[in-house]
Amino acid sequence: MPEWMTLETLGLWLRPLIWIVLGLTLATVLGRLVERMGQQRLTRHQRVLFRRLVFYTILGVTVALALQQSGFQIGVLLGAAGILTVALGFASQTSASNVISGLFLLAERPFELGHFIEVDSVRGEVVGIDLLSVKLRSLDNLYIRVPNETLIKTRVTNFTRFPVRRLDLSIGVAYGEDLDRVQRVLLGLVHDNPDCMEEPEPFVYLLEFGASSVDLQLSFWVRATDLRQVRSDVMFGVKKAFDREGIEIPFPHTTLYAGQHSAPIPVSIHHNQDKP
């Protein structure tokens, strides 16, 4: 039997392997247990971070114990790890800044997993929150990674932080239309839509007298999850209701005017009498 296949050598390799397997199993079970226990008190983001913290902490301890069982000196390894950590800290100041920013984001909680946000003109659904970066999925299914430091320095807009949102639709009508009648048609359209909320009460007010139309704003409240669909449904409904009621949606017109003292350009039609 070769020397490396002796019982003593096999035991030397099996003991750390068993420690690692047990540690991996224990880390997975305890991580899920911590996540389940925090469902009532913690957000989804916090549960994920705590689960990862428990998992990697237990796994690291068991790996250290496995190395000790194999004859490695833990003190030497810790000293080397400390020196390596200092060297990496100087070499990766940006990563350290992202980690610190991630801790601030964890404490502040401006968004959570599943929220739809806008960061530096980039919009997307939050699909991952880590200590270094936040992962977004855009509306066209692109994967976007945003460093935590950028999130701290840049304005962040959260579109789904609150359960309800107000929709403001700008609608133009012709100057000759009865605005009271237009208002009744618009409010009736909103009241007939089951996805539009009755409280707060929807309203219509005049924005401005535009170049080609009287510009109105129709405002009403909807659930944040239904925002895009309701916007489209109401806009389709406005066009159909205006066509049914004979309300004109104007388009820009251009009129050429030469002044009151200028005579109009004469236009006449001559028939060729010589033509057979």
Whole-prediction pTM value? Answer: 0.57
> What's the pLDDT tens digit per position in 101-122?
877 887 788 888 889 999 988 8
The mean per-residue pLDDT over the stretch 49-62 comes to 76
- Please give the mean pLDDT across all residues of the chain: 79
Averaged pLDDT, 83-102: 64
Beta-carbon count within 10 A of 99 CB: 15
- What are the phi and psi torsion angles at 131 (to 5°)? -70, -20
The number of beta carbons lying within 10 Å of the beta carbon of residue 126 is: 22
Evaluated on CA atoms 217, 218, 224, 227, the torsion sign reads negative
Residues 6+ apart with CB under 8 A from 162: 224
Query: What domains can you pick out in the chain, each with its CATH number?
Result: 3-80 (no CATH), 104-158 (2.30.30.60), 164-245 (3.30.70.100)
In this prediction, residue 171 carries a pLDDT of 92
196-250 pLDDT, tens digit per residue, is 998 889 999 899 998 888 999 999 999 988 888 899 999 999 999 999 999 998 8
Residue 110: per-residue pLDDT? 86
